[in-house]
Structure 1
Amino acid sequence: MAEKDLDSTGLFGEFRRMVRTTGTVGGIAARLAGHKLGIKGDGAAHAEDLKGVLGGLKGPLMKAAQLLSTIPGALPDEYAAELAQLQSNAPPMGWSFVRRRMAAELGPDWQKNFKEFGREAAAAASLGQVHKAILQNGEVVACKLQYPDMTTTVEADLKQFRMAMGVYHKLDNAIKQDNVIEELTERLREELDYQREAANIRLYDYMLADSDLVTVPKTVDTLCTRRLLTMQWLNGQGLQKVLDTNPSQEQRNDMARALFEAWYVPFYRYGVIHGDPHMGNYTVRNDLGLNLLDFGTIRIFRPRLVKGVIELCEALRNKDEERAAAAYEMWGFTNLSRETINILNEWASFLYGPLMEDRVRTINENVETIFGRDIAGRVHAGLQKTGGVKPPGEFVLVDRSAIGLGSVFMRLGAKLNWYRMFQDLIADFDEDALAARQKEAIRVAGLERYI
């Protein structure tokens, strides 16, 4: 075929057209295609370029890429390694802009609600920024104000993101991403509604009401809209700042216990998971408990899936292949060959290995720079050989939480009996009882309207 034909048809033609695309995410697609086609040889530098592009984004698209980076083969290794390090760095809105945005949400006399309102942003969020304020009754609150036109921005970026991942899927089909992309799209759209996030906060307040290790802020519902979330201000320090003080092993373990409780009590008792455990979403209290701060990426699961996770752990611990196959069906996987199940078991054994050994240990005894990256490469190669796998959408946040928490536990250097902690959570597991608890929690939180 002539060079002209190659340039205008097929995959090379698609790549060339995307190179000319001006959209940010179109550029990402071109980078992915170029990477796989060998058009640019330095993968690490190429990944650094992509990190720079995504790092400047407002909105949750960066989070979608980070979520994908935890699934073996969903992105090239270099991209996954770089994306795992990204944090939101969107430029803050100035005071005049903030005033207009607050007036749009609460009316022209919005300032009457506050004794004080910080003019400078106290923190950045994936969709907006946080201001510290004091209500007329003296209560200190955090006001999370969404950037303007985020719905339009998110929808435009999601459209291009689908295009980007479609190109990559043509080049590498180890992970058939239809369900994954649908899941990410649904979760990201949910994050646009801060009233839903307020209901998520009430849900966590209910689920963790008996916890001494975790604090959930109270919402100020009269000052919450779809684009403004007002909640109790919680004092605490970032985890890295605490680690810089060189805490003792006991203190490290205390923080790890709080993390474990914050994420896994809701999952195994109520079928609810927080899908974004990165360190910006919580702070450490003076007593080394945790403050949870961000509740945008919350997923409510079928009780059957929670049972599937427990069944898979037990199957792996007892080397029971038939039980593992049944567990994957509970998760929502379909048409798995025995060879594919064995490959998935390798990944699952890595994720849940600490829960299967009745002894004190670190979360990952084989030191790796990026938690799970080496084994992910082997799993990806195996899936390519077997024709790939189509994960259910629910897999995304379960996987993301396990990888994200594992990375934090590793950074903490925690040494605990993870098996005993897990067994304590599931000792009285009953699928019907979980379903009843979940239904009541959803009712109390006011989440029925969203489900």
Structure 2
Amino acid sequence: MIRTAKLASLPLAFTGRRIAGASKRALGRPADEVDREIQRRTAEHMAEVLGELKGCAAKLGQILGIYELALPADLAQPYRVALSRLQDSAPPMLPGTVHAVLAETFGPDWRGRFREFDDRRAAAATIGQVHRAVWHDGRAVAVKVMYPGARAAIDSDLRQLRGLSWLAPVFAPHADGSAVMDEFAECVRAELDFAAEARNQRRFAEVYADDPDFRVPRVVTQRGDVIVSEWLDGIPLSRVIASGAQAERDRVGMLAIRFFWSSAPRSGLLYGDPHPGNFRVLPDGRLGVVDFGACSPWPPPQFPALVHDLADALMNGGPAELDAFARRHGFLDGQRGLDSAALAAKLLPFTEILRAETFRVDIDWLRERTRDAMSPKLSNAYRQLGAPAYLMPFHRALVTLFGLVAQLGTTGPMRAEILRWSPEFRAVMERHGSQTGQPTDLAAVRLRRADRPPRSLSPQGS
């Protein structure tokens, strides 16, 4: 009841701030100054209240983090601070609580399974926490323990959050709050199934065993609300983002792209949560990958044709082909029209990744794409589109990947990496080359004609 009351306080407080703000504007305070104060206090209040939600806070912070990019840089700061607090807000379980979960899972002699067990939390997971330990056979292991009562608490939190879908526009004006909350609920609930997560991780560990670029820790055992897997020593990507040399940032960003695009062809599963907290740079240079709760069987039967037809319409067709694509694949119903020429113009920057031999994705590029997509103008062609429900896991994962790559400021041969794993894109680009008889890197040609340095040909790292 206390948590419910605190959630209910959010819209009341927001309304109060709006009323007070109107009075301040009437007394002569600049409107921009008043609006900024409302945004700052709302963001801080959201972090304080939502931070008390057991498993929802960190995941909500991850999902909403991308929408912060829709705001101008000077307005985004209070939201960035609040989201950072939100993602790091999970309170640690006391040792006695952790021991109780392990005793319930493995029996009262649970300590006999470990040579050592560190009671200090090594990391916070979305719905629990991770402890470092040594298994009885001498292996260093990570022990992921779910918060007791997490399922009931999350069900309660999600019911309340569905009633707060207006919060999404606080981070992203004119966002579809209901759709954001529905996707958030599905994402969190999937991570409650530790048995499914362990199966996913075993599958990835099998197909990436002895891979020169990646390491997925093997699952040692999974019972109930505990997963024990091999420990990974490495540098968190947050540290690479904050202080890594650009050559290393480029290398790691390209590895993240490779893992994402290779995951479904190699494992039959989409890796659905490629955010920085789930990667480590290992001492041997490989990229370590953890957290397999948000994986989906992939691709659905309709997906390969959708990818081919969209890329073909953009690269080899025109507005008419794009309109036909949207209707064929369920982005439009029979009643709605589409300004397909305007939509093609909005999608052009994404096609430059396929046109350019080398490309750079950074925060400025992603912010421009995000703000363009979320523009509240009625003329915004994105607003004319729906989306098939089966695309939601891919959309969420791709947006998260773009956020990671942009934070690293990655420059590299992205086109080659995507074509390596997608026969649909390869077929489209082969047709593009045969039809145009021109170099694929048209973006660089246009920029050279404009006598300015080509963004896509920034110096590449290792």
Question: Aligning the two structures, in what range does the TM-score lie when normalised by the shorter sequence?
Answer: 0.7 to 0.9
Over 3 Å counting, the alpha-carbon distance change for 1:394 and 1:112 in structure 2 is same
Contact 1:174 1:384 in 2 (8 A): no
One-letter amino acid matched to 1:124: A
Over 3 Å counting, the alpha-carbon distance change for 1:333 and 1:35 in structure 2 is farther
1:55 Cα offset (Å):
3.5
Matches within 5 A, 1:45-444: 45=40, 46-64=42-60, 66-67=62-63, 70=66, 85=84, 86-165=86-165, 181-209=181-209, 211-221=211-221, 224-243=222-241, 246-247=244-245, 249=247, 251-267=248-264, 272-301=269-298, 302-328=300-326, 332-335=330-333, 337-339=336-338, 345=344, 348-350=347-349, 352-364=350-362, 367=364, 370=367, 372-378=369-375, 380-382=376-378, 389-427=385-423
Over 3 Å counting, the alpha-carbon distance change for 1:279 and 1:168 in structure 2 is closer
1:99 Cα offset (Å):
1.0
Choose 1 or 2 for highest CA Rg: 2
1:328 Cα offset (Å):
4.1
Q: Which moved more, 1:52-61 or 1:340-349?
A: 340-349
Over 3 Å counting, the alpha-carbon distance change for 1:106 and 1:427 in structure 2 is same
Structure 2 counterpart SS, 1:265: helix
Q: Which moved more, 1:67-76 or 1:286-295?
A: 67-76
Structure 2 counterpart SS, 1:108: coil
1:195 Cα offset (Å):
1.0
Over 3 Å counting, the alpha-carbon distance change for 1:235 and 1:371 in structure 2 is farther
One-letter amino acid matched to 1:25: L
- Rounded Cα–Cα distance in structure 2 between residues aligned with 1:244 and 1:174: 31
1:204 Cα offset (Å):
2.0
**Partner residue in 2 for 1:23:** 5
Q: Which has the higher contact order (CA 8 A, sep 6+)?
A: 1
Contact 1:311 1:327 in 2 (8 A): yes
Q: Which moved more, 1:42-51 or 1:272-281?
A: 42-51
Which residues of structure 2 form unaligned runs of 5+? 23-33, 428-462
Contact 1:215 1:292 in 2 (8 A): yes
1:157 Cα offset (Å):
0.7
- Rounded Cα–Cα distance in structure 1 between residues aligned with 2:68 and 2:321: 23
Which residues of structure 1 form unaligned runs of 5+? 1-19, 432-451
Q: Per-residue CA shift, 1:74-119, capped at 9, x if unaligned?
A: 9999697667644232111111221111111111111111111111
- Rounded Cα–Cα distance in structure 1 between residues aligned with 2:178 and 2:202: 32
Over 3 Å counting, the alpha-carbon distance change for 1:412 and 1:75 in structure 2 is closer
Contact 2:122 2:131 in 1 (8 A): yes
- Rounded Cα–Cα distance in structure 2 between residues aligned with 1:118 and 1:199: 26
- Rounded Cα–Cα distance in structure 1 between residues aligned with 2:6 and 2:107: 35
1:200 Cα offset (Å):
1.4
- Rounded Cα–Cα distance in structure 2 between residues aligned with 1:248 and 1:50: 34
**Partner residue in 2 for 1:15:** none
Over 3 Å counting, the alpha-carbon distance change for 1:422 and 1:186 in structure 2 is same
Contact 1:273 1:300 in 2 (8 A): yes
Structure 2 counterpart SS, 1:339: coil
One-letter amino acid matched to 2:143: C
1:32 Cα offset (Å):
6.8
- Rounded Cα–Cα distance in structure 1 between residues aligned with 2:38 and 2:317: 38
Over 3 Å counting, the alpha-carbon distance change for 1:56 and 1:210 in structure 2 is same
Q: Which moved more, 1:367-376 or 1:383-392?
A: 383-392
1:292 Cα offset (Å):
0.7
- Rounded Cα–Cα distance in structure 2 between residues aligned with 1:346 and 1:23: 46
- Rounded Cα–Cα distance in structure 2 between residues aligned with 1:35 and 1:343: 38
- Rounded Cα–Cα distance in structure 1 between residues aligned with 2:424 and 2:387: 29
1:331 Cα offset (Å):
5.7
